[in-house]
Structure 1
Amino acid sequence: MGIRRPSRFRALATVPQTYPANVAMASMIEMKSSSGQDKLQEVTEMLNMLRADLTEMNLLPQQRNEALEKLKVHGRSVENADPIFTKEGIDTLCRHGFHSPSTTTSREALRCLANALLLQTETRQIFVDLGFSEKVCELLKSDNRDDEFLASRILFLTTYGTNLDFEKLMRDSQLAETINQNIARHSKRYPKSGRRASSIASPMEDMALSETLKLMFNITNFYPDLAEMFSKSIAHIFKILFRTRIPTPPLHPPVCYLVNALMNLDLEGKKGSQPLAVNPVFPKFDQKLNAEHLIKILDMAITQYPEKELDTVAAPVLVLIRRVYEFAPDTVKRYMQCLLLPTDEERNMPLGQSDTLSSRLLRLSTCPSTPNLRESISAMFFEISGKDASTFVKNVGYGFASGFLMSHNIAVPENASDAFSSQTEGTPINPITGQRLDAEAIETGPEMTEEEKEREAEKLFVLFERLKKTGVMNVRNPVEQAVQEGRFEELD
């Protein structure tokens, strides 16, 4: 399996914040001032002492842990903490982290290491060059959420800006299988009866799950050929997503990480060596379950986030919904259409003016402050319209459909009403606004005078000429056409 390292890394998953501090201890090693040269001197002394302890073992366990605790506090900022970020500093932390028989000492050292990898990007390649990547994978196999959190975070950070061979880790250290097992363990925490809120009693479990999901996303994003190795986790991720009570705001962790982790996986099951008997995206007991839940999350996100945030936070949900629709069974497709497309009741007014999900989506499809979401929404409506321009216009109206069709060089119906020509029953629809004609307001004002009609005709003539010059679409000025067809008469 050939893997190509991307020429330029994209931060598609959120880089984590530093590990939270523990309660300050009663130090056996007295704290000095943490400012300026005092901090630098103290960091140097701590690292020298920890370095010497690797060979001489001259520190008591409590002294060793206190020194690492103190170093962790100093390492939360790069100022005057330079020795931590050197090759010798990273090596010292790794050896205490991976070779210590004490789990307390090991985790304190790894917390220092994780902070260093976060704050100084150069340390990530130093860590890889020191050859501790396999040790991290071994630690990840531990059935302990603290170890899972630390190991996943360290590996996640090494997906940025290093030459770490993840294909080798998959083959020799069973990294994919370990990640799959950890996600399966997490799914057992979510009971079948009732939705589970994000755990307050066990925050480390939720933090470990988030780090594991972020690691999976980055691996599948930067190394798409490895994505099929995580197919075993699809059912577990959907299970966790459905049984997690949707938070406020709805894309708060771990929901956002669950959605992101699914985006790059082989949901259709095309790449697996054996076809799936039952696709986990559409469980046998309720095929529409996951699709309906994703649409519910999207609906809540649109109502709870401001527009300036929606363009980034809601885009992954929309992409996932489009992927699910693409290979959904016909019954699920029809159900998704009912949830996403305008209903007959909405056509009592121009489309996009009610407070339903479809109307909010249509308004966002023309919102200038959400360029990514705008494009994705229009593409979704086009896809659930069977990728047919006439059906698309019929579903959302010519006003919302025309811009997307023209920008993608898709043939636009020459006459907007052509999209509704197949309608043989029911009330006629305004092809531009999508509103029922019998629900339109009746014009009670006076008719236009001849002079007003001439002015409006002149404006339309100018607009058609301008549109023709842009080259965006091939239009023919109706006045010009009328002259050529002999429908104009010269008057004295």
Structure 2
Amino acid sequence: MASFSGAGDGLERLLDQLKEDLKTPNLSSKEQSDLLAKVKVYGRDPRTAGPIFKPENITTLCRYGLDKESGPTSHEALRCLANALLLNEPSRQIVVDQGFAAKAAERLKSDSIDDEFLACRILFLLTYNTNIDFNAIATEHQLADSLNKRIAQHSTAFSDPGHNKPQSSLMEDMALTEALKLIFNLTAHYPNLIPTFTPSIEPLTTILLHHPLPSPPLQPPISALINALLNLDLASATDHLPLTTHLTHLLSLTLQTTPAPSPDLDPTITLLRRLHTLAPPSSPTQTHLRTTLLPSPADRAQPLGKGTNLPARLLQLASAPHLPTLRENVAALLFELSGSDPDAFVRNVGYGNAAGFLASHNISVPPSASNAGGGSEEGLEDVNPVTGQRWSAEEAGRGGEGPEMTEEEKEREAERLFVLFERLRATGVVDVENPVKRARDEGRFEEVE
């Protein structure tokens, strides 16, 4: 076991001293805090923390942390307890069985930022692998009211329009993050509690809109704010446009600053889908999402998904082979932005980008996928339906800017697209003429030696 300067005592002896003082008080508050600080050092390492996990020692920490008034001694004990619950899952049920979860909920009524951080962290850990009934905790100890109050307090500094992007302290951000994690788990596992957190929607949105952004953006507390909003009744909010605009900005920044796509993007995509669904047709929210996330006419100067702007990066995510959940989520967002209309979807993103989603959902391929003119919609008569690029841009690319494709490269690309269509036809989902075959029959492609 590790040795600690000035401590000398083993962990067992430290815990015995603390237990004895509960029976016969002799130690000052500072002496209690000093002993608990030494226990905390042992408790950070699973190799030395074992004795803490005994039921009687978990109870001892609970009594120091939650039976005593808020203060340094209580906070040291709660830090020890939080570490123990993180490292040892069976310890969590001990806390529940002895009624200390209710006391942790009561502690949230304190105005101390340390109490908020520690009580929320402990309650959050109790949402995993225990038989705790948070419905009873919420009813009897006003848990939702306490959390709503804490969120409102955090938002106060961000509510003044003249006080743009205030600097929040590290401890405030840590406490906020723990409260947000607890709200997310409560609303995910106890849907009947969702309405009780409606008062937090506006404060959460205010914090998200005005909190300084870390780099990359999607890390706590920003990521926790997005997660906390996911399960709430956003239909009660009157104006979704500011939140929608900010989320698309966060998405763009993240894709610019993160070397590789990550599953951390999923909550942002999911929240954008919810906001799109809740917005009235042709509302500013829906219009913003379509104009920001779908390819523009200018993007059709090259095959869709080949650029570096936000629509191109989303199309790249929609075909990311190593992130199936994110890939499905992004493709579903683009499909919904197309009015859940397969024909509009193909026109918007090109059949090469739409094919996988349509096939996996057994959606019939629309006629526009095989229409060499790309459909009759204004501005799309000159579009390659497979790549989404304008035929005229392809022609210009061959004879103008950039290195021209060799005949072998052209043949390989044609073969790749041909094989893609034939594979999809074999699934029985696609029942249209292969546009590559049609282009070849019309003389657009020639066999080379």
- Tell me, yes or no, whether TM beats 0.5: yes
Mapped pair 1:160 → 2:128: yes
- 2:351–2:369 Cα contact (<8 Å) kept: yes
User: Contact conserved, 1:467 with 1:475, CA < 8 A, in 2?
Assistant: no
Percentage of identical aligned residues? 46
Residue in structure 2 matching 1:404, options 326, 343, 357: 357
The secondary structure found in structure 1 opposite 2:217 is coil
- Residue 303 of structure 2 corresponds to residue 350 of structure 1: yes
- 1:380 aligns to 2:333 (yes or no): yes
5+ residue gaps, structure 1: 1-24, 33-40, 270-278, 479-492
Conserved? CA contact 1:405–1:412, under 8 Å = yes
Paired residue secondary structure (1:314): helix
Indicate yes or no: 2:14 matched with 1:46: yes
Q: What residue identity is the alignment partner of 1:364?
A: L
In structure 1, the partner of 2:445 is none
Aligned equivalents of 1:311, 1:197: Cα separation in 2: 29
Correspondence 1:110 to 2:95: no
State the match for 1:368 in structure 2. 321
| Closer/same/farther in 2, CA of residues 425 and 214 from structure 1, 3 Å limit | closer
Distance of aligned partners of 1:139 and 1:457 in 2 relative to their CA distance in 1, 3 Å threshold: closer
1:317 equivalent in structure 2: 268
Change (3 A) 1:81 1:432: closer
Partner of 1:434: 388
Tell me by how many angstroms 1:435 deviates: 1.6
Name 1:217's counterpart in structure 2: 184
Structure 2 Cα separation of the partners of residues 394 and 56 of structure 1 = 79
Amino acid at match of 2:258: Y
SS at match of 1:350: coil
Distance apart, 1:379 and its partner CA: 0.6
Report the TM-score, using the length of structure 2 for normalisation: 0.86
Deviation by residue 1:437-463 (Cα, 9 ceiling, x = unmatched): 222226679xx9xxxx9xx99999998
Q: 2:292 aligns with which of 335, 339, 356?
A: 339
Deviation at 1:62, TM superposition (A): 2.1
- 1:259 is aligned to 2:210: no
Structure 2, unpaired ranges of 5+:
436-449
CA positional deviation for 1:198: 5.1
Distance (whole Å) between structure 2 residues aligned to residue 458 and residue 434 of structure 1:
18
Whether 1:247 aligns to 2:214 is yes
CA RMSD for the aligned pairs?
A: 3.1
Contact 2:346 2:368 in 1 (8 A): no
Q: Name the residue aligned to 1:276.
A: none
| Structure of larger gyration radius | 1
**What corresponds to 2:7 in structure 1?**
31
Given residue 85 of structure 1, which amino acid in structure 2 is its aligned partner? F
More helix by share: 2
Q: Could you report, residue by residue, the CA deviation over 1:384-404 in whole angstroms, capped at 9, with x for unpaired residues?
A: 100001111111111111211
How many angstroms does 1:414 deviate by?
3.8
1:302 alignment partner, one of 243, 255, 271: 255
In the alignment, the residues of structure 2 paired with residue 333 and residue 432 of structure 1 have an alpha-carbon distance, to the nearest angstrom, of: 26
| Cα 1:214–1:465 shift into 2, 3 Å | closer
- 458 and 164 in structure 1: CA distance in 2 versus 1, 3 angstrom threshold: closer
Q: 1:231 aligns with which of 179, 198, 204?
A: 198
The one-letter code sitting in structure 2 at the alignment partner of 1:340 is L
Q: Could you say which residue in structure 2 is the equivalent of 1:193?
A: 162
Q: Is the 2:302–2:390 contact (alpha carbons within 8 Å) kept by the matching residues of 1?
A: yes
Does the C-alpha gap of structure 1 residues 365 and 465 become closer, same or farther in structure 2, counting only changes over 3 Å? closer
Amino acid at match of 1:379: A
* Distance in 2 of aligned mates of 1:472 and 1:167: 47
Which deviates the most, 406-415 or 312-321?
A: 406-415
1:143 equivalent among 83, 101, 111: 111
Aligned pair count reads 424
Q: Deviations over 1:178-222 (max 9, x none)?
A: 1111100100022422542552xx321111101000111111112
SS of equivalent residue, structure 2 residue 340: coil
* Preserved contact between residue 311 and residue 372 of structure 1 (Cα < 8 Å): no
Task: Name the CA shift for 1:459/1:263 in 2 (closer, same or farther; >3 Å).
Answer: closer
Q: 1:165 to 1:426 in 2, by over 3 A?
A: closer
Aligned amino acid, residue 204 of structure 2: I
